[in-house]
Structure 1
Amino acid sequence: MTGKKMNWHKVADTPQMLNWQDNRMCITEAGGKTLTLAQFQDQIYAFAHKCPHASGIMADGFIDATGQVVCPLHRYRFNMQNGRNTSGEGYYLKTYPVEQREDGLYIGFEEKGLFGF
């Protein structure tokens, strides 16, 4: 079985060029999608712009002490690495791989075949 094919989209020349908020998150666009970026322990994570529960803007939330992103509306928590809901409600936050390259910061989207398969 082969690995997933990815389409990579550059979002900035350096992470410092992004408009980071005090909560260490920002909103960006890549591949026609609006995404949230978050910084935690020298790592950058990319995930959905809105919470899958009630569409809270994830960048308006916060990152807790354990590195979970917390939705501002109902305080649902998500693992930024895999999107798993860690507060027990059963939702899943879409996450995207991030690569810091010599020429910039990139977000990856899984390449889809014909009809999305």
Structure 2
Amino acid sequence: MQSRGRHRVPVGYPANIQSDTCAGEGTLLDLSPTGCRMRSDITLDAGTYLALEIAVAQERAPLAVEVSVVRWCKDGQFGIEFLRYRQGDRERVTHFVEAMPSYQAPVSAYAESTLSTASV
């Protein structure tokens, strides 16, 4: 498995989602300067372009990602790549993420449980 170029931080921020075909709300589960993982009840497909407005608890103004794309979908969760921020918001996200400790993706926990199940 290829490692990520940037670390990500766990969050629980609400976001407004807007695409050409739907609008709704979701919750960011983790965040990096280049994207996020989020959960939502709306149906999105890989390749869908979105605009996101993210309400960050420590910030007065929401973060705006003007253009992002869904890279993967599974069980109501989505991997989102940020393509274009509102002016100044890329720096805000980068500063915020760098100030927080990173964490390892739950993939390692899944791999451990798979290995322990396979050895039973």
Work out which structure has the larger RCO, using CA pairs closer than 8 Å and 6 or more positions apart in sequence.
1
State the TM-score, normalizing by the size of structure 2: 0.27
State the TM-score, normalizing by the size of structure 1: 0.27
Higher helix share: 2
Compare CA radii of gyration and give the structure with the larger one.
Answer: 2
